[in-house]
Chains A and B, each alone.
Chain A
Amino acid sequence: MEEYKILKGRGGLPDRYVRGEVELNIPPGTKVETYPVLSGDSKVTEYFGVVLDTPLAIAPSSEMTVYANLASDTGVFLSGGGKYRRIDTISRWPKKFALYGNASDGMVYRHFKAGYSSSPPKPERDKVLAGLKIVNHEDEWITMGRCLIDQRHYNLFYSGKDVVGELIEIQVMNDDLSIVRLRNRPSLGKGRAMPYMPAGIINVLEMRFGL
């Protein structure tokens, strides 16, 4: 992974941010800050898919919470006046994508295969801990293989030294339809939200082609 450089300007010119082919001016009064972000590529898709390495079975009319470590990248932001703008993303993860649903009506998502457990796993480098709370409203057993979230609205939190993701709640209505809500609070304990995310947004996404 190529690290970035901040080049000092001459003769009153603004400083420059440089990383590989990415190069841009830093306007006066703003500064460059880095924060962890969920891994993805916004040029391809805004959706992140947590693909469970083994499908998870959930009993009828019950709920359960599992934890998984998800891939994270380093987002480079310009900050000024309390506003943040992402200018670059430094990633250590090879990216793969997959199609959910069909080609005209579905979604392409960042495909990330993750192991899961009922207790929080140990923190890992370049990963964030995320909780998935699954609520089965069906009178039948259901099997969950994946869950999609809109990563533009997915909050990350500092919890001590670790980075914890927002709690993801999956309401299973029937075999085809599930509603995924980002609960706007850390998956575990308390945490301080990343400053680049606007506060108070509860994002809802419908998965209409099953789990």
Chain B
Amino acid sequence: MTLIDWAIANTTDLLISLAIIVISVAVAKLFAMLIRRRMHGNYSESLTKMAEKFVYYLVVLIGLTAAIGNLGVNLTSVLVAGGFLGIVLGLAAQSSVSNLIAGLLLIVDRPFNIGDSVVYGTDNATVVDIGLMSTKVSTWEGVQMRIPNNSLFTSSLYNYTKSVARMMRVQFYLRDGEELGKVVSAINSRLAERWYVLVEPAPQTFALSFSDYGVTVEARAWTAGTTWNELYFTMPQIVNETLKGMGVEFAYPKRTLVDERAGRNRKARG
């Protein structure tokens, strides 16, 4: 008996199985929708999506099992055959399983939520979706990136949204002989004037080290997590304008070259 003959002989059962699958998909969608409505706003977005997907696939799996059973296929033998197949697939799907477990752990641990600003590797991004196997982020350049959950779980990830306040630092070089004290107080007061720079901790500017360039100076200012962009985009400009207003020049790298033939020293900028 060919497959076509079998299908013709079992048309009714085939149609019933097909109906079971269609109904189970519809019921799965309904259940997922009910879960989304019930959980939305009460639980995190990521947990809601995870629960939604879990219920959806569970109902579809039950429907598929029922549909196969309806066709007279012995599920026990399928499961026995599936056992061997499971070992083969299990070996092949090791990374998928580790991604799945990592996904569940991410849900429990909650190092980030949907909408959080994160840095993964060298990429600044916003979390778009947390799935069972992978997490989707949208980089600042607008590119969507899919990261396997296992990689996320085992590597460093910076979450900027979790911080209520953040510090920004700007380093620059001052020539020897510039009045450091005046520069420090001018930059501190210019930073303190900005509404988004926190009063406490107050802005700090100080000599950090000495280098070939002169004195390395660092300016630090704190801002609320929600006003980070204001500080990030303006602080270097504030430092620059303050120094220019005072007539102070940045130091540039200096090297002293000795011209032995001429028997004199020449200074060069580079």
Contact = CB atoms under 8 A, between A and B. Distances in A.
A44 B199 contact: no
B144 to A, nearest CB: 28
Given A44-B227, A97-B224, A99-B222, A106 B195 contact: no
A97 B164 contact: no
A100 B201 CA distance: 9
Interface in B182-205: 195-196, 198-201
Contacts of B224: 44-45, 97, 108
Nearest to B200: A98
A208 interface: no
A107 interface: yes
A117 to B, nearest CB: 23
A205 B226 CA distance: 22
A111 B224 CA distance: 12
Contacts of B200: 98-100, 111
B165 interface: yes
A211 to B, nearest CB: 14
Interface string B197-222: 01111000000000000000000001
Interface residues of B, number: 17
Interface in A30-50: 43-45
A69 to B, nearest CB: 19
A12 B18 CA distance: 55
A104 B162 contact: yes
Interface in A43-59: 43-45
A97 B162 contact: no
Interface string A185-211: 000000000000000000000000000
B175 interface: no
Interface in A5-29: none
Contact of A97 (B166, B167, B196): B196
Chain A facing B: main interface SS: loop
Contacts of A97: 195-196, 198-199, 224, 227
Given A98-B198, A111-B199, A106 B165 contact: yes
A105 B163 CA distance: 8
A98 to B, nearest CB: 4
Interface string B221-258: 01011110000000000000000000000000000000
Given A44-B224, A45-B224, A97-B224, A103 B195 contact: no
Chain B CB within 10 Å — which of A96, A104, A105 has the most? A96
Given A94-B195, A111-B199, A99 B165 contact: yes
Given A45-B224, A97-B224, A103 B166 contact: yes
Contacts of A43: 226
Nearest to A146: B200
A98 B163 contact: no
Contacts of B195: 94-97
A22 to B, nearest CB: 18
A189 B61 CA distance: 68
A103 B162 CA distance: 9
Nearest to B195: A95
A108 B199 contact: no
B198 to A, nearest CB: 5
A108 B166 contact: no
A108 B196 contact: no
Contacts of A100: 200
Contacts of A99: 164-165, 198, 200-201, 222
Nearest to B194: A96
B195 to A, nearest CB: 5
B221 to A, nearest CB: 12
Given A98-B199, A108-B224, A108-B225, 9 more contacts: A44-B224, A96-B195, A97-B195, A97-B199, A98-B200, A99-B201, A103-B164, A103-B167, A111-B198
15 contacts: A45-B226, A95-B195, A96-B198, A96-B199, A97-B224, A100-B200, A103-B167, A103-B222, A104-B163, A104-B164, A106-B165, A108-B164, A108-B198, A108-B224, A111-B200
Top 10 closest pairs, chain A to chain B, by CB: A98-B200, A108-B224, A98-B199, A99-B165, A103-B165, A111-B199, A96-B199, A44-B224, A103-B163, A98-B198
Interface of B: 162-167, 195-196, 198-201, 222, 224-227
Interface of A: 43-45, 94-100, 103-108, 111
